[in-house]
């Protein structure tokens, strides 16, 4: 490029001054560039057609002359520009270079340095985001959900917690943050804040144990597993119904024969034995094939299973040892054990989505319920004391002490009003009216908390908020 420019300038000088230039002679690059520009306007139409090409040639000559310092003599500006180039800020290296992101027609602009703060994400990794680069428009084009990206872009810029916009469904937003590959801890924190339940699947390493474990724990995996779950639910419901029906007076002595000997052919005893046998087999099989024995007993549902079968065996061995069913039936300790059988109702939580939602809702609402209990206890003490002193000395008053007024206060605040204890004096009735109004307001404290948690858990458990990626 430099040699062609030099030859052009040499020829033009030879024609004008009649002097020949030698190869070792230094020429002024600025004059060379001006001569090259003048030549582009000579030669008529043919020269004009090459105007762009010749102008580029002249600019290249000028740039090369500046970079080599050839214009320093008699021209001070190029040396200054060289110093400026040497001290020029490198935006690519420092990350201050701007980048434009087009998300389904909506443009976002930021600096590369902000994206590089999140190197494991889709936009923070140069190799990952390169697949979306559009060279013709000099932008990154991503055809994804725009409102969801606004929240993700805000997190990338300012950090902090990831917040889902109210107009974006939780399953759509979760799909988007998985697409942009946000940090794992950020996603887990978002899932916890939205009420998603982390379900860590732990399976046995033994192939045979794994198949049996899947049959008893995951009904959706096969038809046989679904049949086992259905059989367990039917057995549980039958046992609960039996527990209630056997208390009817007509069935009070069917378990005994005429001589007080136990009747082992009693239908209630037979059905209860069958149900307990199934619960025992189910518990022991699951315990044998479980992946972790310690984690097995830490699970509340397994403790319920074990607690539900203990009363039957204690009662059975007591009847066998005494051969008297009446004493076993009337024993206070055994009666308490029979009440424990009612915990079988919690076995249904394993197969009922609705009961699981209720349990999760109350667990998540503990703080709100604690606030409600504190407010309830304070109001209880205040109104109990007030009604006692207001009714003190009033003829016909049924409130004899402050502890006795606790019952009246709690019944009035919950708007039940049995009517067994009522104020008789005018001041007592006024306090009773205020107590009822304050009770209604106190009961309203946990309602929005419980409702919000229930809606979140219900949407996730029923699949409307469940990620299926």
Give the residue from 143, 163, 194 where a domain finishes: 194
Tokens of 26: 């230094």
Tokens 């198949």 -> residue: 211
CA distance 372 to 394: 33
Residues 227 and 265 reside in one and the same domain: yes
Residues with Cβ within 8 Å of 361's Cβ and at least 6 positions away in sequence, in order, are 450, 453, 454, 457
Residue 112 domain-assigned (yes or no): yes
State both tokens at 50. 């090459």
**Is the CB of residue 281 less than 8 Å from the CB of residue 345?**
no
Any domain includes 14: no
Q: How is residue 141 annotated by DSSP? A: E
Rounded Cα–Cα distance for residues 256 and 329 (Å)? 10
| Inter-residue contact 58 to 36 (CB < 8 Å) | yes
Is the CB of residue 181 less than 8 Å from the CB of residue 128?
Answer: yes
In a domain, 285, yes or no: yes
Task: Say which CATH number the domain at 315 has.
Answer: 1.20.120.350
Q: pTM for the whole thing?
A: 0.55
Query: If you average pLDDT over every residue of the chain, what do you get?
Result: 76
Place of tokens 């019952």: 407
- Which residues, in sequence order, are bridge partners of residue 101? 108, 140
Residues 324 and 364 in one domain: no
Q: Is residue 297 part of a domain?
A: yes
Q: Are residues 127 and 184 in the same domain?
A: yes
For residues 152 and 277, membership in a common domain is answered with no
Question: Does one domain contain both 368 and 446?
Answer: yes
> Which of 351, 371, 389 lies at the terminal end of a domain, its last residue?
351
**Domain match, 358 and 346 both:** no
Token pair, residue 306, equals: 């074990």
What's the CATH code of the domain at 439?
1.10.287.70
Residue-wise pLDDT for 221-271, tens only, equals 889 989 998 998 898 888 888 888 887 887 766 666 555 667 777 788 888
The count of other CB atoms within 10 Å of the CB of residue 378 is 11
The 10 Å Cβ neighbour count of residue 222 is: 13
Is residue 24 domain-resident?
A: no
Domain membership of residue 448 (yes or no) is yes
CATH number at residue 183: 3.30.710.10
Residue 309 near residue 276 (C-beta atoms within 8 A): yes
Domain shared by 346 and 361, yes or no: no
Q: Encode pLDDT of 68-124 as tens digits.
A: 444 444 434 444 444 444 445 555 555 578 889 999 888 998 888 888 888 888 988
Residues 338 and 211 in one domain: yes
Domain count, the chain: 3
The verdict on 434 and 404 lying in the same domain is yes
Orientation of helix 2-17 relative to helix 29-39, angle to 10°: 80
Cβ neighbours around 467 below 10 Å, total? 15
- Residue 262 pairs in a beta bridge with 256
Q: Read off φ and ψ for residue 102, nearest 5 degrees.
A: -105, 110
Regarding whether 379 and 346 lie in a shared domain, the answer is: no
Domain boundary among 194, 222, 253: 194
Question: In this structure, what token pair is assigned to residue 237?
Answer: 């419901």
Domain of residue 457 covers 354-464
Number of Cβ within 10 Å of residue 115's Cβ equals: 22
Is the same domain home to 285 and 251?
A: yes
Residue 298 lies in a domain: yes
* Same-domain status, 433 and 345: no
Q: What is the pLDDT tens value at each position of the chain, 469 positions in all?
A: 344 443 434 444 444 444 444 444 444 545 544 554 444 444 444 444 454 455 555 455 444 444 444 444 443 444 444 444 444 555 555 557 888 999 988 899 888 888 888 888 898 888 898 899 998 988 999 999 999 999 999 888 888 788 888 888 888 888 898 899 888 888 888 887 776 766 667 788 888 999 999 888 888 888 998 999 899 889 888 888 888 888 788 776 666 655 566 777 778 888 888 999 999 999 999 999 998 888 888 888 888 888 888 888 887 887 777 776 655 555 555 556 667 767 777 777 777 777 888 888 888 888 888 888 999 999 999 999 999 999 888 887 888 889 889 999 999 998 888 888 888 888 989 999 999 999 999 988 888 888 888 887 787 766 544 443 3
In a domain, 85, yes or no: no
């Amino acid at each position: 490029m430099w040699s062609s420019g030099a030859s052009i300038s040499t020829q033009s000088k030879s024609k004008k001054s009649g002097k020949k230039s030698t190869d070792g002679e230094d020429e002024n690059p600025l004059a060379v560039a001006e001569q090259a520009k003048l030549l582009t306007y000579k030669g008529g139409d043919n020269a004009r057609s090459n105007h762009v090409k010749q102008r580029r040639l002249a600019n290249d000559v000028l740039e090369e002359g500046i970079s080599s310092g050839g214009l320093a003599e008699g021209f001070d500006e190029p040396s200054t520009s060289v110093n400026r180039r040497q001290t020029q800020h490198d935006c690519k290296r420092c990350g201050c270079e701007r980048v434009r992101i087009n998300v389904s027609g909506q443009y976002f602009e930021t600096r590369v340095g902000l994206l590089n703060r999140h190197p494991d994400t889709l936009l923070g990794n140069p190799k990952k985001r390169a697949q979306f680069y559009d060279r013709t428009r000099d932008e990154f084009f991503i055809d994804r959900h725009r409102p969801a990206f606004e929240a993700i872009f805000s997190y990338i810029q300012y950090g902090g917690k990831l917040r889902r916009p109210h107009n974006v469904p939780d399953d759509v937003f979760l799909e988007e943050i998985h697409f942009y590959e946000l940090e794992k801890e950020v996603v887990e924190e978002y899932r916890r804040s939205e009420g998603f339940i982390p379900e860590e699947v732990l399976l046995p390493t033994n192939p045979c144990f794994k198949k049996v474990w899947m049959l008893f724990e995951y009904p959706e995996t096969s038809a046989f597993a679904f049949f086992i779950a259905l059989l367990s639910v039917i057995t549980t419901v039958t046992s609960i119904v039996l527990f209630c029906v056997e208390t009817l007076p007509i069935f009070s002595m069917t378990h005994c024969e005429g001589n007080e000997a136990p009747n082992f052919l009693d239908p209630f005893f037979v059905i209860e034995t069958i149900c307990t046998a199934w619960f025992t087999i189910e518990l022991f099989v699951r315990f044998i094939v479980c992946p972790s024995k310690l984690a097995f007993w830490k699970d509340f549902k397994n403790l319920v299973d074990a607690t539900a079968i203990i009363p039957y065996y204690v009662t059975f061995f007591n009847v066998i040892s005494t051969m008297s069913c009446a004493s076993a039936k009337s024993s206070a300790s055994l009666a308490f054990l029979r009440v424990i059988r009612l915990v079988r109702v919690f076995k249904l939580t394993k197969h009922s989505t609705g009961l699981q939602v209720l349990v999760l809702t109350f667990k998540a609402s503990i703080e709100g319920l604690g606030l409600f209990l504190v407010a309830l206890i304070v109001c209880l003490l205040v109104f109990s004391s007030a009604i006692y002193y207001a009714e003190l000395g009033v003829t016909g008053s049924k409130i004899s002490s402050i502890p006795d007024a606790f019952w009246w206060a709690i019944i009035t605040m919950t708007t039940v009003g049995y009517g067994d204890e009522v104020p008789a004096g005018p001041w007592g009735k006024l306090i009773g009216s205020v107590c009822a109004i304050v009770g209604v307001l106190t009961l309203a404290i946990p309602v929005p908390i419980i409702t919000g948690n229930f809606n979140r858990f219900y949407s996730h458990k029923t699949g409307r908020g469940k990620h299926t990626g």
